[in-house]
A and B are shown apart, each in its own frame.
Chain A
Amino acid sequence: EAEVAQSPRYKITEKSQAVAFWCDPISGHATLYWYRQILGQGPELLVQFQDESVVDDSQLPKDRFSAERLKGVDSTLKIQPAELGDSAMYLCASSLGVGGSGSRETQYFGPGTRLLVL
């Protein structure tokens, strides 16, 4: 069964250091999402890609966060410098993203990366 891959699963870093997360979506999925989830809350969308293009990054703190999906397949989310408040679960999801599926478009998630900033 096709899955979304993410690495690393866990990351501990000190504040002011740089961190990077990687995501490989389900093969053939054109749309990729990065979410941040604080413990006990629902996910918050950080950035959405359609192929290699950013569709929405309105909630991405652009002074320290960056995301890319250069070839329209896998993606990297970077934080530089990390702050204590960045400690959270970072989830990657993908969906088909082709026209016609409309509201039925289902997002499938990877295992997530738990980030702890000390």
Chain B
Amino acid sequence: AQKITQTQPGMFVQEKEAVTLDCTYDTSDPSYGLFWYKQPSSGEMIFLIYQGSYDQQNATEGRYSLNFQKARKSANLVISASQLGDSAMYFCAMREGDSNYQLIWGAGTKLIIKP
């Protein structure tokens, strides 16, 4: 079974609109972390935002926020006021437990911002 599922292979969004990228996860470990990365066409994987399973509040970093719904096992990334430079692949990833540093990756969502 997929541990990280990103159901949107691609999305088109008008510039300045908000966009939500979906991510659902599957784990039985009570301690886990969820990460979002951005990968522009240049190839570098850029860390955006982190949410811990015990965090009481949804994570926010500038225009990025994470809509964390623990009971539904979803960790959707919200980008407010999208910009042309937001066009990229976006990956959701999970780390299970506290001692294993490895990440489990989703298949990614390709986001294209239209001017």
Chain A residues with CB under 8 Å of chain B are 31, 33, 40-43, 45, 48, 56, 89, 91, 93, 95, 97, 102-112, 114
Contacts and interface: CB of A to CB of B under 8 A. Distances in A.
Given A42-B105, A107-B103, A102 B44 contact: no
A93 B45 contact: yes
A114 B97 contact: no
Contact of B43 (A105, A108, A112): A112
Nearest to A96: B101
Interface residues of B, number: 28
Interface string B80-93: 00000000000101
A110 B43 CA distance: 9
B60 to A, nearest CB: 16
Nearest to A109: B45
A110 B102 CA distance: 17
B106 A42 contact: yes
A80 to B, nearest CB: 24
B110 to A, nearest CB: 8
Contacts of B96: 103
B41 to A, nearest CB: 11
A106 B35 contact: yes
Q: Which residue of A42, A103, A110 has the most chain B CB atoms within 10 A of its CB atom?
A: A103
Interface in B20-48: 31-33, 35, 37, 42-47
B78 interface: no
Contacts of B106: 42
Contact of B105 (A43, A56, A106): A43
A109 B108 contact: no
B55 to A, nearest CB: 10
Nearest to A9: B43
Contacts of B47: 106-109
Nearest to B97: A103
A104 B101 CA distance: 9
8 contacts: A91-B43, A102-B99, A103-B52, A103-B97, A104-B52, A108-B47, A109-B37, A112-B43
B43 A111 contact: yes
Given A31-B101, A91-B45, A111-B43, 11 more contacts: A42-B107, A43-B105, A48-B101, A48-B102, A103-B33, A103-B53, A104-B52, A105-B33, A107-B103, A108-B47, A112-B45
